[in-house]
Chains A and B, each alone.
Chain A
C-alpha cells in the first residue's frame, strides 16, 4: 500500500508560475509525485463536476481558493508523504482575491474563471409569476422586507473523505474504496475521466462515518489516488485530514437573500418575493438536479397559502472552496424555509400578532391537498394545523408566553421561536430530475434463496441512516418474513443495481419504493408457485397474514419459506414462472414526497454576554408512515443538533485576503452534549398518496426546519431591545452586536 498526500495552495487566488516536484521525487520513501502538468499529460488535470462545470484536480494555470490541490505525492509511509510535500517548490504570482460575492459582478472585480465566457457569472434563474406577485404586493396593507444571509457552513461528518485506489493491470480492473454517497454516479464520472470502461471499475463505498451531503461530490483526492494507482500499479490510499476537509470539500449555503412578504392588515399572506445571490465558490460543483441551478429554492412559499410568489437567483464564482449544496439541505429548501420563516415572524411582529396565530391562519388546509403552489410544486399530502397544534400543546405555548412576560418584567430575556416547514424530498421524477444526465430513478434486486432467506441489493447506501434495518423491514413486511431473514447489500457497484445514491432524503422515497415494488413482484411470483402447489387457480388465492391461501380457507395457507422451497423444486410450474422467485425493480417516483413539521425552540439569552442557551426543543414531524420510528427519531435528533450548531456557532469564515478562518474544530464549532437539550418529539402521520407504503423522507427535515426556530427564538428574546433580525451564526459576539446595533441598524455585520 502506498500513501498519498496533497500539497494545497496557501493563497486564495494566484497564477502558478512553476511547480517543481523533483526534490520530492528524490525523497527515499517517495514512489511518485504528480503536478498539474503530470495529470494534464494523462488528461486528468481537470474533471467534470456533477453540475456541468469542470474542476481542477491539480492546478495547472491558477489556484482559485485557499486549500486548492496543487500536487500529489505517494510514498511508502503516510508520514513520509507529508514530509515530501515540504520539498515541493511552487512559484505563485498572487492575484487579488474575490471574497465578497456581492462585488463579483462589479466591473473591475477580480475574475475567478477567465476561461469561461461569463467570468464570475454562473447563472440567472427565476421562478413564479412576477406580474401576479407585483399585483399582490400592490394590494397589500403591509410589506415586510429583510436582507438575510444564510452563512457558509460545512457538513463536517466525523469521518473525513478518503479513498484507496487499486488498479490491477492484469485484469484491467480498477477498484476504488471511497467515501461516496453516490457510488454509481461516481463510477460513470471516473470512466469518462480515466478512459477505463465502466464495467472494469468497481466502487466500494461501505458504511460511511457520516456524510450529510459532504460525500456526494467527486473530490480531487479520489482522482489523485486513481491516477497514482494507474501510474504505479499499486494500491494508493488517500485520507484527508480535518483541516483539508473543512477548507476544500463541499460547503453549504452561502445564500445572500433579500426577502419580502406582503399581507393584509389582519394577517393574510398575499405574496412573497425573493432575490438571492448565491456564492458557489471557485467551481460550480453543486450536486443537484441539472434543471435546477438554484435547487428547489422556489418552494419558498413554504407551508402557507400565498396568492403569488416570485424569486430570482443569481449564482457567482468567488475564490472560495467549491460546492454549494451539501449539508442535509434538500437542494436549497433549507435556505427557502429559513427565508419564509424569518419573514413570517417579522410580519407577526409588524402586525403585533402572535407568530403561532399568524402561522395557523395562513397554513394550508388539509382539504387543499394535493396542493399546487404558486411556483409550480405539487405537495402530495398534509395536515398542517394538526401538526402545529400538537407542537403548541406539547410546548404549553400559552404558559410559555406568560412565563416570558413575567421574566421580561424581571429583566430576563427568554425567547420562544416557531418554525413550520414543508420539504420536497425524494428526487425525483426522471423526466424532470437528473444528475449529469442520469435520471434519478433507483433500482432494487431481490434474490430469494431456496430456504426463503432473502438478499436485497439496493442502489443507495448508508452513512448511518440504518438502511440495513429499514429496508429489511420493508421487504419482510411484504413477504411475511422476519427482518432477520433479509440481508441488505449496499455500497458496492459490482453487487448492486444502478441508482443515484443517498442524499436529499431520497433513500426511502425512491429506493425504499423500489424495494417494495420488487418485493411485491416476488410475492406475485410466489402466488403462481403457491397456486401450483395447491392445484388452484392463481386468481383464487388471497394474501392473508403473510401467507398465500385459497380465498376463505386458512387450512390451505402457504408461507413464504414453503413457497420458496417449492419454487426451486421439481414442482411443475404454470406459465409465467420458470422457477425461482427473484425479481428486480426500478422505481421512477411520480413526484417528490413532502414531509413537514412544526418546531418550537425555547431559549434564554444573556444580554450582557450574548450567550444563548437552548432550554427546550419541541419537534413535531410528519414524514408519512414511519417504517422504523426509532430510526426516524434518531434522524430528527441529529437535525435538531444541526439546527443549534448552524444557528448558533457554525460558519466557514474568510478574511479579506482569502484565508479560511475555520480550518479546525477549534474554529469551526460544533454543538456538544452540553449545548443540545433533550428534545421533545411528537409525530403526526399523513401518508404520501403515491409512495407504495405511504412513507416520506425524513433524513433532512430537522436540519431544514430547526435553524429558523432557533433564530426566531433568539430574536424573540431580544424583542424588548428592538432587535428584529440578526444573521446566523448567533454567537455571543453576534448577539451582543445585534443588541448594540439596534438603534438605526438592522442586523449585525455580515460574516463573509
Chain B
C-alpha cells in the first residue's frame, strides 16, 4: 500500500506491506530510531509516539493506520538545538539511565503537560503507568516531569508542542491517564 505520513512535520510517502507496524516503519523505513521496540504487546511503552495529538504505542499500530495523519516522535520534541523542557528536565534530574524507555516517557510527559500544566505527583505516576522503566524505579522520571511542569509554569520555558487537548474520538490505546481540567 502507498501511504503518506507526516512525521515531525515532514511528509513521507512509501509503499508498505499492510502488516507493517508503525514502529518498524519509523525505525526501518524512515530511519527514526529514537522510538524503541520493546515488547510487541503494548505493555512496555518504549514505542510511544503521537498519532495526531494522542500518544499511542506504535508497536500495535499499523503503519497504514497512520496514512494521512501526523506522527510526532521524540526526534520532533526539540526545536532545533533547543531542547524541550521535558528533555532538559530528564537530563537535569537523572531521569534516564539506559535510555531505552526515555523516548516514550518523554512523549507521554509532553502530552501530560500540554493537557495538565500543573500535575500532581499522582497525576504523573498515573500518566506513565502504562510504560515500563527498568532503571529508575520511576522516581527520577516523576521528578523530571514535575520539574518541567514547574519551569513551564514559572514561565521559564515555552513548550513548543502545545496542542489543543483531544476532543472526543477514541484513543488507539486508553491514553496515558486521567487529566484534570
Q: List 12 A-B contacts (CB under 8 A).
A: A79-B19, A156-B134, A158-B98, A158-B132, A159-B38, A207-B99, A210-B97, A242-B40, A464-B96, A638-B134, A672-B130, A679-B137
Partner of B41, one of A466, A641, A664: A664
A-B contacts besides A638-B137, A664-B43, A665-B44, 18 pairs, CB < 8 Å: A79-B17, A79-B19, A158-B44, A158-B98, A160-B38, A209-B100, A241-B40, A242-B38, A243-B40, A464-B96, A464-B98, A633-B94, A634-B136, A637-B137, A641-B134, A664-B40, A673-B142, A676-B137
In the complex, whether B135 has a CB less than 8 A from a CB of chain A is: yes
Indicate the member of A243, A639, A641 with the most B CB atoms within 10 Å: A641
Taking CB atoms, residues of chain A closer than 8 Å to B135 are: 210, 464, 634, 638
Closest to B124 in A: A673
Chain B residues in 8 Å Cβ range of A676 = 137-139
Q: Which residue of B lies closest to A211 (CB)?
A: B98
Whether A463 contacts B141 in the complex (CB less than 8 A), given A78-B24, A242-B39, A666-B43, comes out as no
- The minimal Cβ–Cβ distance linking B142 to chain A, given in whole angstroms, is 7
B46 within 8 A of A: yes
The complex places the Cα of A658 from the Cα of B67 at a distance, in Å, of: 43
Return B41 CB to nearest CB of chain A, in Å. 5
> Which residues 31-88 of B sit at the A interface, judged by CB distance below 8 A?
36, 38-41, 43-44, 46
CB nearest to B132 among chain A residues: A670
- A212/B134 contact (C-beta < 8 A), A158-B36, A158-B38, A159-B100 known: yes
Decide: B125 and A159 in contact? CB cutoff 8 A.
no
Are A672 and B129 in contact, CB atoms less than 8 angstroms apart? Answer: yes
Whether A210 contacts B137 by the Cβ 8 Å rule is no
Which of A157, A639, A672 is most buried by chain B, counting CB atoms within 10 A of its CB?
A672
- Judge whether A678 and B19 touch: CB under 8 Å: no
Which residue of B98, B100, B128 contacts A673 across the interface (Cβ within 8 Å)?
B128
Q: How far is the CA of A633 from the CA of B95 in the complex (A)?
A: 12
What's the Cα separation between A574 and B36 when bound, in Å?
55
- Would you call A641 and B132 a contact (CB within 8 A)? no
Bound-state CA distance A210–B44 (Å) is 14
Residues of A within 8 A of B142 (CB): 673, 678
Bound state CA distance, A627 and B43, in angstroms? 35
Interface residues of B in 83-134 (CB under 8 A from A): 94, 96-101, 121, 124-126, 128-134
Max chain A Cβ within 10 angstroms of own Cβ: one of B17, B19, B46, B100: B100
Contacts known (A78-B24, A242-B40, A674-B126); A641 close to B98, Cβ less than 8 A: no
- B43: which of A207, A211, A665 is its contact (CB, 8 Å)? A665
Which residues on the A side are within 8 Å of B30 (C-beta)? none
Minimum CB distance partner of A159 in chain B: B100
Q: Which residues of B contact A (CB under 8 A)?
A: 17, 19-20, 24, 28, 36, 38-41, 43-44, 46, 94, 96-101, 121, 124-126, 128-142
Q: DSSP majority for the A interface?
A: loop
Write the A179-212 contact mask toward B (1 if CB under 8 angstroms, else 0).
0000000000000000000000000000111111
A624–B74 Cα gap in the complex (Å)?
38
B121 engages A678 (CB within 8 Å)? yes
B residues in contact with A466, CB < 8 Å: 97
**Given A78-B28, A241-B40, A664-B41 in contact, is the A158-B101 Cβ separation under 8 Å?**
yes
Question: Which residues of the partner chain A approach B28 to less than 8 Å between Cβ atoms?
Answer: 78
Please name the residue on chain A nearest to B104 by beta carbon: A158
CB pair B36–A678 under 8 Å, yes or no, is: no
Q: How far is the CB of B136 from chain A (nearest CB, A)?
A: 6
> Does any Cβ of B come within 8 Å of A465's Cβ?
yes
Q: How far is the CA of A158 from the CA of B137 in the complex (A)?
A: 13
**A212 CB contacts on chain B under 8 angstroms:** 134
Instruction: Say yes or no: is A630 at the interface (Cβ < 8 Å to chain B).
Output: yes
Q: Please provide the chain A residues from 615 to 669 with a CB less than 8 Å away from any CB of chain B in the complex.
A: 630-631, 633-634, 637-641, 664-666
**Complex Cα spacing A157 to B126, Å:** 22
| Cβ-closest chain B residue relative to A243 | B40
Query: Is A464 in contact with B97, judged by CB distance below 8 angstroms?
Result: yes
Are B36 and A209 neighbours in the complex by a CB distance under 8 Å? yes
* Least distance between A118 CB and chain B CB atoms (Å): 36
Residues of A within 8 A of B129 (CB): 672-674
A472 to chain B, nearest CB (A): 15
Residue of A at shortest CB range from B95?
A634
The residue of chain B having its C-beta at the shortest distance from the C-beta of A630 within the complex is B94
Judge whether B134 and A210 touch: CB under 8 Å.
yes
Do A158 and B46 touch across chains, with their CB atoms under 8 A apart? yes
Chain A, Cβ-Cβ closest to B28: A78
Give A665 to B42 CA distance when docked, in angstroms.
9
Top-3 shortest CB links A-B: A464-B98, A209-B100, A464-B97
